[in-house]
A and B are shown apart, each in its own frame.
Chain A
Amino acid sequence: AQSVTQPDIHITVSEGASLELRCNYSYGATPYLFWYVQSPGQGLQLLLKYFSGDTLVQGIKGFEAEFKRSQSSFNLRKPSVHWSDAAEYFCAVAPQEYGNKLVFGAGTILRVKS
């Protein structure tokens, strides 16, 4: 079935440690790829997006993501996590055959311990 998978429901990292959040998708053609962050009770903020070109994408707040076609993955990374990064992170894809809608993963809740 076509889907977006975020295998980790919760992740806890220490402040200052590195972070990687996983995202895999299963669509025929490479879709457009996005990462959003949602703080409690808030809307979603776009962190970064990939349409084509360089497979390493830089985003806001020091985040980056790498597209790997062979693995159908788009993992989000940050070298040093800050306490303010605690939030829920959603991977989303825009499959080319689906029109303009975004398809979201179930989300990963990030906890940061001091």
Chain B
Amino acid sequence: NAGVMQNPRHLVRRRGQEARLRCSPMKGHSHVYWYRQLPEEGLKFMVYLQKENIIDESGMPKERFSAEFPKEGPSILRIQQVVRGDSAAYFCASSPPGLPYEQYFGPGTRLTVT
């Protein structure tokens, strides 16, 4: 059973470009969470999704950030017009139905904005 998969593992973008981060949950998992880890900080919750639904986006910045988890395919975290402050590691986690606290994390995408 493959774990949570994220790609790309490393992403470099220039200021003003768009970043798209992908997350494929573990097989059988229907809940996806995105967290951001700034340098020398712990992870901060961004958004919680189920298939085709955003359940909780209380941690998402109000502008430029969006997330989706379509019926088919991976979850996508999209950052428009990136700025240097967006440089961070972005982690995706998934959990099985009925066990929301059993969160399994992917390896992360390290975004660098130049």
Contact = CB atoms under 8 A, between A and B. Distances in A.
Contacts of B107: 42-43
14 contacts: A42-B108, A43-B4, A44-B43, A49-B102, A99-B48, A99-B55, A100-B33, A100-B100, A101-B45, A101-B58, A102-B35, A103-B45, A104-B42, A104-B43
Interface in B25-65: 31, 33, 35, 40-45, 48, 55-56, 58-59
A90 interface: yes
Contacts of B58: 101
Contacts of B43: 44, 90, 92, 102, 104
A48 interface: no
Contacts of A102: 33, 35, 43, 45, 101, 103
A36 B101 CA distance: 13
Interface string A15-55: 00000000000000000101010000011111001010000
Interface residues of A, number: 23
Contacts of A90: 42-43
B69 interface: no
Best-buried of B4, B42, B102 by chain A (most CB within 10 Å): B42
Say whether chain A's binding surface is mostly helix, strand, loop, or mixed.
strand
Given A101-B45, A101-B48, 19 more contacts: A4-B42, A34-B101, A36-B105, A42-B108, A43-B106, A44-B43, A49-B101, A90-B43, A100-B33, A100-B48, A100-B55, A102-B43, A102-B45, A102-B101, A103-B45, A104-B44, A105-B42, A106-B40, A107-B42
Best-buried of B33, B101, B104 by chain A (most CB within 10 Å): B101
A17 B101 CA distance: 32
A87 interface: no
A94 interface: yes
A3 to B, nearest CB: 10
B105 A43 contact: yes
